[in-house]
């Protein structure tokens, strides 16, 4: 991932921050190269996706280490669905697009 982190000034042993960036992920169970589709019980998605991430968190400066909990949202930028060959497929015919979204709690000790 590539992040831009914006910190405020440190207040005693505490400092809030905002985070924004881009990342990529790999779907190892995507079945992208498989020629079968949902009629053969094979759901297919893209194998690599580009995401943007937004987050906020706090840095706590303790005696021996820095503790940084943060909450981040991860949102896909591209359609991940590979539609079936038949246009009127009962599985993917009505789906226009499919994007990943997630919320992560990240805890860092430095």
Q: Could you read off the pLDDT of 31-87 as tens digits, one per residue? A: 888 878 877 878 888 899 999 999 999 999 999 999 999 999 999 999 988 888 787
Q: Per-residue confidence at 15, pLDDT binned at 50, 70, 90? A: very high
Pull the structure tokens for residue 97. 């697009």
What's the average model confidence in pLDDT over 87-97? Answer: 84
What's the average model confidence in pLDDT over 12-26? Answer: 95
Give 20-73 as a DSSP string.
EEEEEEE-TT--TT----GGGT---B-SEEEEEEEEEEEEEE-SS-EEEEEEEE
pLDDT score of 37: 80
Pull the structure tokens for residue 6. 């914006």
**pTM for this one?**
0.79
């Amino acid at each position: 991932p590539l992040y831009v982190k914006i910190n405020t000034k440190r207040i005693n042993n505490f400092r809030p921050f905002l985070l924004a960036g881009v990342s990529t992920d790999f779907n190892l169970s995507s079945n992208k190269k498989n020629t079968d589709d949902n009629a053969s019980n094979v759901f297919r998605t893209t194998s690599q996706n580009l995401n943007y991430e937004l987050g906020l968190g706090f840095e706590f400066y303790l005696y021996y280490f820095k503790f940084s909990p943060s909450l981040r949202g991860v949102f896909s930028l591209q359609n991940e669905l590979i539609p079936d060959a038949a246009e009127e497929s009962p599985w993917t015919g009505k789906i226009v697009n499919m994007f990943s979204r997630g919320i992560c709690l990240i805890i860092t000790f430095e």
